[in-house]
Structure 1
Amino acid sequence: MIEETETIEEFLVRHSADVEEAVRTAAAAEIMPRFRRLAEHEIDQKSGPHDLVTDADRLAERYLTDRLGALLPGSVVVGEEAVHADPAVYDALHGDAPVWIVDPVDGTRQFVHGDPGFCTLVALARGGVLLGSWTYAPALDLIATAVRGRGALLDGQPLRSGTPDAGRALRVAHSHPDYTTDEQKRSLLGLYRDGVEPRACGSAGLEYLAVARGELDATAFSWEAAWDHAAGLLLVEEAGGAHLTRTGAPFRITGGNALPFTAARDERTAHRIAALLTEPAGEPRVPSAG
């Protein structure tokens, strides 16, 4: 609970471990017992066959909503499944109260298919500013955290994104074709040229973690749902990276961004990828099948 004279930043320093414990508990109680054990009645479609939700998503979000709200009285929770049930919940991002942004299972498609490449994402924001970040991949036993102005950690150790090696093609994960409009696909084609090694993304949260670890040079995403991006953007930023929309402005979690946008290991790489997303496609290399 926040003390009367305590700032949100001071609260985060004091309670980051409590948030981590809540995320771990949600995974242990609701997510991992269902991993590779899901019954058909525990899986539903939302907008289509690629947009899945499971009992693990719903129950983990319910637990985190209760736990995080109790940890910071006066805060509100914007969770993916709550917004699906009531889109007005998303409006809290524009309010004055601290907002927990929750994706209980980022990479639900991977989770459903028994792939360990999924994670739980939690971020804390106020007034559109990201303040705290937690990324937990329970099947991979990885936890990454960040507090604005205090750096990023992976399993408790300092995390730095570094810079891409000179002369090597940039490794970029971009929006999966299943989740992009025709216009966004055309913009992403700018990545398919010499000097870039693009591929379709998996879990957005784990792609951001890969950028923060220096295993991936950048992402290029064409949607702006806050629960997919909030935790990862602060993680990358605090690890030394940068994020830009296709017009060169920083990404805003409150929306209204020029898409696609990029998050990269360093500012120079972010500008380079953003430029590829805005320039005419010309004659890019044709993406290989699969």
Structure 2
Amino acid sequence: MIETITESIDDFLSRHVTDRLATDVERIVRAAAAAEITPRFRQLAAHEIEQKSAPHDLVTVADKRAEEYLTRELPALLPGSVVVGEEAVAADPTTYEALRGSAPVWIVDPVDGTRQFVHGDPGFCTLVALALDGVVLASWTYAPALGEMAVAVRGRGARLDGELLVAGSPAPGEDLRIATSHPDYTTDDQKRALLGLRADGFAPRPCGSAGLEYLAVARGALDATAFSWELAWDHAAGLLLVEEAGGAHLTGAGVPFAVTGGNVLPFTAARDAATARRVAGALSAGA
């Protein structure tokens, strides 16, 4: 069964995930941001910002309209594909189940880093990933306020504004720079696991936009992440970006993160496999 799925994915990659598709998705992502996000940056009215399930969980009119734009345009590029978007799932949680279906899935986070966006901080991005059978095949990370676009295709590398990304390895002897989940997003057990990073050799800090933290790992500006939640739209695009830049990711079970869920948390993504093992080990020790 695994061989059959692998062959099917390889065939899908070669036939459908073409340079033309990558370019078309990039165009649509840029257009969605230009139409619905950038004009509202530092221009939001109070009534255009809402609180979702918790005080730190915000949504804006830009999130909603950008997702509507992407949901309208992306499936037309790949007939039979479906969209799993953060705001659509907030309205109807059953739509998340499409990640476990047989159709190709566009995984969309219209504004990753909504808190930053609301506060006028340029550290936010739009995330789009294409997955099949739980395998992420391509991803787009666009930071409109920073003017950066990162694209990754499985087996073909990752690029930032056209330049190849190489994560490299951390400098020997230096503390590992790690972006970690904010305490507001963690359970008591996860807090204990993250305490494993409060040790010699680690330099943890709270994370910002997950998508931009993954980009920082992929470009070698950050050594690792340690996250305690598994919503696919926050991680799918960035994890492929890190993989294709030469990095690795591991859950608390010692296996790679699965976008379909059921992961042992927290998990890490790192510049190389050795660093991923080191961070995962520290998280296990903390737990």
SS in 2 for 1:171: strand
User: Who is 1:44 aligned against?
Assistant: 50
SS in 2 for 1:48: coil
Alpha-carbon distance change, 104 to 114 in structure 1, aligned in 2, over 3 angstroms: same
Q: 2:84 aligns with which of 67, 72, 78?
A: 78
User: Is the aligned partner of 1:116 residue 2:96?
Assistant: no
User: Is the aligned partner of 1:258 residue 2:264?
Assistant: yes
State how far apart, in whole Å, the 2-side matches of 1:259 and 1:197 are: 20
Q: 1:178 aligns with which of 178, 184, 203?
A: 184
Q: 1:269 aligns with which of 250, 258, 275?
A: 275
Instruction: State the 1:183 CA deviation.
Output: 1.3
Is contact 2:197-2:286 (8 Å) kept? no
Is contact 1:124-1:131 (8 Å) kept? yes
The number of residues matched between the two structures is: 276
Is contact 1:207-1:219 (8 Å) kept? yes
Instruction: State the 1:182 CA deviation.
Output: 1.4
User: Is the aligned partner of 1:28 residue 2:34?
Assistant: yes
Letter in 2 for 1:205: G
What whole-Å deviation, never above 9, does each CA across 1:42-76 have from its counterpart, x for those lacking one? 00011011000000000000000011011111000
State how far apart, in whole Å, the 1-side matches of 2:200 and 2:12 are: 48
User: Who is 1:15 aligned against?
Assistant: 21
User: Is the aligned partner of 1:66 residue 2:64?
Assistant: no
SS in 1 for 2:17: helix
Where structure 2 has 5 or more consecutive residues not aligned to the other structure, the ranges are: 1-10
Is contact 1:247-1:278 (8 Å) kept? no
State how far apart, in whole Å, the 2-side matches of 1:262 and 1:256 are: 15
Instruction: State the 1:29 CA deviation.
Output: 0.3
State how far apart, in whole Å, the 2-side matches of 1:56 and 1:12 are: 28
Letter in 2 for 1:267: A
Instruction: State the 1:166 CA deviation.
Output: 0.6
Pick the structure with more helix per residue. Answer: 2
User: Who is 2:5 aligned against?
Assistant: none
Instruction: State the 1:9 CA deviation.
Output: 3.7
Identity %: 72
Letter in 1 for 2:277: H
State how far apart, in whole Å, the 2-side matches of 1:19 and 1:38 are: 27
So what's the TM-score if we normalise by structure 2? 0.95
So what's the TM-score if we normalise by structure 1? 0.94
Q: 2:113 aligns with which of 107, 112, 116?
A: 107
Is contact 1:172-1:217 (8 Å) kept? yes
State how far apart, in whole Å, the 2-side matches of 1:53 and 1:38 are: 11
Letter in 1 for 2:47: H
What whole-Å deviation, never above 9, does each CA across 1:160-195 have from its counterpart, x for those lacking one? 100001111100000011111111111101001110
State how far apart, in whole Å, the 2-side matches of 1:225 and 1:93 are: 11
Letter in 2 for 1:177: P
Letter in 2 for 1:237: E
RMSD over aligned CA atoms reads 0.9
User: Who is 2:240 aligned against?
Assistant: 234
State how far apart, in whole Å, the 1-side matches of 2:154 and 2:259 are: 15
What whole-Å deviation, never above 9, does each CA across 1:11-43 have from its counterpart, x for those lacking one? 222310100000000100000000000001100
